[in-house]
Amino acid sequence: MKQSLLIGSAVALATTIPLVACHRGTTMQAPPRATDTISVPPQSSTIAVPIVAQLDELSAALEREVPRQLWSIDQPGKDCLASKRVEVLGVKLKTPRVECRIVGDVVRGPIGLAGQGQDLVVTLPLHATVRVRDIAGVLKQETATGDAVVRAHVRLSLTPGWKPLARLDIQYDWTNEPGIDFLGQRITFTSKADAKLKGVIDKLERTLPSELDKLHLDREIGKAWASAFTSLELNHANPPVWMRIVPQDLRYGGYAVEGRRLVLRLGMRAQTETFVGDRPADPPVSPLPPLKRLDNVPGRMLFVIPVIADYRQLEPVIAKALAKRSARPFDVPGVGPVTARFGKVTCYGTNGGKVAVGVQFSAKEAHGTVWLTGTPVNAPNSREVHFADLAVSGVTDSTGTDVLLALANAPGLSQTIAGALAQNFENDYAKLMGKIDRALTEKRTGDFVIRARIDNVRTGQLKAAGQGLYLPVEGTGTATVSLDMP
């Protein structure tokens, strides 16, 4: 990321830079270069992991397993109409028993599968055709038809090994009871059909749980778990930034039926680590752990995003400020006005969390490199950087050291360097956050997709490391991991 550096207003610093070398001809070493890299502490997040199963597969499985003709019946010598006592004109009579032969079958229509919320509803439409033959030797045959609807309300749960369990509540209603009219009376065959329907319901109770297992929810959950052990690119270059996800456990928080989809609500507790530089190796995949209960809403994710300034990009800013200032003489105490010419500027991180700045310049008969160090500071939640405790730490390759130290001690020079070092990270911060926001909108690694949104951010305290000047940005947001289903 090309860092945009804005020269801030001059920092109010002490006008005297401590002298560390006072003798003519004294030379000192440049400040040591720090070699530490930027290390971002791991964060703990709970990532939403919705597992989606298409109910079309379950519908197709039920269509295969439940035959079209559910049962047939052939019962000769049955009482179609039982004998009963009646009173006619005050005379008590007993009606004859009416025998018949009952033949019939029941077929089903297309199985419906839908639901909403926690209820998965399986609907089984039935059509019964009942033929009644040899009715009391009077009628040869009568045909009766009827319709019924079987509804199975299913509630799911998962075993510790991520296998589905089903609790069923099956009911049925006759929308049109099968029956005929004979000798002024209605003969119904509902009770005969009910006995057969019980067998249909028993088969549905056995079939449905086993077919649910064929959705292979445990396999899809395992694939999502294994895919989450990965590293995601947050920023491609200048600098490259990666977030490595290390899942810790997986929790189940229920499910919802959304039209033709069964959505399991899972929360993956994971450690997220941010790396600056080359892509880190993916963490080793651990086995899918046993199910745990999810007690809160998943999806909350913590980010620590580094905004980094390369020291080399500070160098031209300082050089430009010094070149502009050199147009006027410096008022050096005890010496008077001194015109200085400035050359190469070197900037890097040094020990103690400080920044070292080496400035080549010449004045009168003196020339050499003066080294200054300062501590970068920023106010809480601010992207504006200032440098405090600016001090001369050495002079190298010099002649006329006393003159160089006197010039370095002049307020004009110290204020110019301090003002040039005052950097505003606002543009860098905005650019990086824009890149990361676009990167997290949808990031795909194979079948694994992470969608994230950063809701709010805070900036932390600056740190001068060997790798660069580092401003941590702490963010909270939401994240969802999903796996493309086959």
Grouped pLDDT means (10 residues each) for the chain, 486 residues: 28 30 52 87 82 83 84 69 50 55 84 82 87 65 83 88 87 80 63 74 79 82 86 77 88 86 87 83 93 80 76 88 89 83 93 92 85 89 84 81 80 79 77 72 66 81 89 81 58
State whether 257 and 361 are in the same domain. yes
State whether 97 and 234 are in the same domain. no
Is 55 contained in some domain? no
Is 384 contained in some domain? yes
Q: What is the pLDDT of residue 134?
A: 67
State whether 367 and 420 are in the same domain. yes
State whether 38 and 159 are in the same domain. no
Q: What is the pLDDT of residue 85?
A: 52
Which letter does DSSP use for residue 383 in this model?
-
Is 222 contained in some domain? no
* Domain finish residue from 215, 250, 285: 215
State whether 363 and 454 are in the same domain. yes
List residues bridging with 319 in a β-sheet.
none
State whether 392 and 471 are in the same domain. yes
What is the C-alpha separation between 254 and 156, in angstroms, rounded?
A: 9
Are 257 and 215 in contact, with CB atoms under 8 Å apart?
A: no
What is the C-alpha separation between 298 and 46, in angstroms, rounded?
A: 6
Q: What is the pLDDT of residue 411?
A: 74
User: How many CA within 13 A on the CB side of residue 179?
Assistant: 14
Give the domain range for residue 70: 65-215
State whether 341 and 380 are in the same domain. yes
What is the C-alpha separation between 155 and 170, in angstroms, rounded?
A: 12
Is 161 contained in some domain? yes
State whether 211 and 236 are in the same domain. no
Q: What is the pLDDT of residue 22?
A: 37
Is 57 contained in some domain? no
State whether 159 and 232 are in the same domain. no
What is the C-alpha separation between 46 and 479, in angstroms, rounded?
A: 8
Structural domain count of the chain: 2
State whether 100 and 183 are in the same domain. yes
Is 56 contained in some domain? no
Local structure of 402: helix, strand or coil: helix
* Domain finish residue from 184, 215, 246: 215
Q: What is the pLDDT of residue 97?
A: 59
Q: Which two tokens stand for residue 275?
A: 């790396």
What is the C-alpha separation between 152 and 2, in angstroms, rounded?
A: 62
Distances (CA, A) of 353 to 95, 226, 350, 370, 375: 110, 40, 7, 20, 7
User: How are beta strands 448-459 and 241-258 bridged, if at all?
Assistant: unpaired
* Domain finish residue from 170, 190, 215: 215
pTM: 0.62
Is 319 contained in some domain? yes
Which letter does DSSP use for residue 423 in this model?
B
Q: What is the pLDDT of residue 194?
A: 75
State whether 270 and 131 are in the same domain. no
Q: What is the pLDDT of residue 309?
A: 79
Is 54 contained in some domain? no
Q: What is the pLDDT of residue 2?
A: 32
Query: Position of tokens 């550096």?
Result: 5
State whether 340 and 477 are in the same domain. yes
Are 217 and 225 in contact, with CB atoms under 8 Å apart?
A: no
